[in-house]
Structure 1
Amino acid sequence: MTLPTSGFTRQLVRQAIERDAWIVVRKSAAPVWEAAVPALGAYPRLVTGSNGRRLYLSPGNLGDAGYRSILEAVRVS
């Protein structure tokens, strides 16, 4: 079953890709998102958290490079 909000959310992800935005996904949800939006599979600005249950924006969860990239994007905006 596909909910209307699912289509809307997929569209938001596609728009984020088009504007070259950083996207952060929980590790456990990454395969689902890549299936729903195939462009995520090769998207260079996708950061996957290492904790499958919680998404902490920290170097320990996102990796040093991913964390620094997200932090810089927030500072610039």
Structure 2
Amino acid sequence: MPSFTKEELIAASELRTISQRELFHMLEERGKLGVLYKDSLAAVLLPHARYATMATRLKELDETLLQHQHE
């Protein structure tokens, strides 16, 4: 599981009380946010560009793995 600093974590209940602007500022400033629900990491928020990069890389790795399995 990825590690998060205390500043990168937010309780799910806080999502009701902070503004959209504040949420996006936190995300931009920290690069990722972990959402805690019942003391467990329930979700991760990432900037779209970072998510897209990760998804592309994962697809590349999957394709490489498939190629090596067929050799």
TM-score bracket, shorter-length normalisation: 0.3 to 0.5
Q: TM-score, normalised by structure 2?
A: 0.32
Q: TM-score, normalised by structure 1?
A: 0.30
Greater strand share, structure number: 2
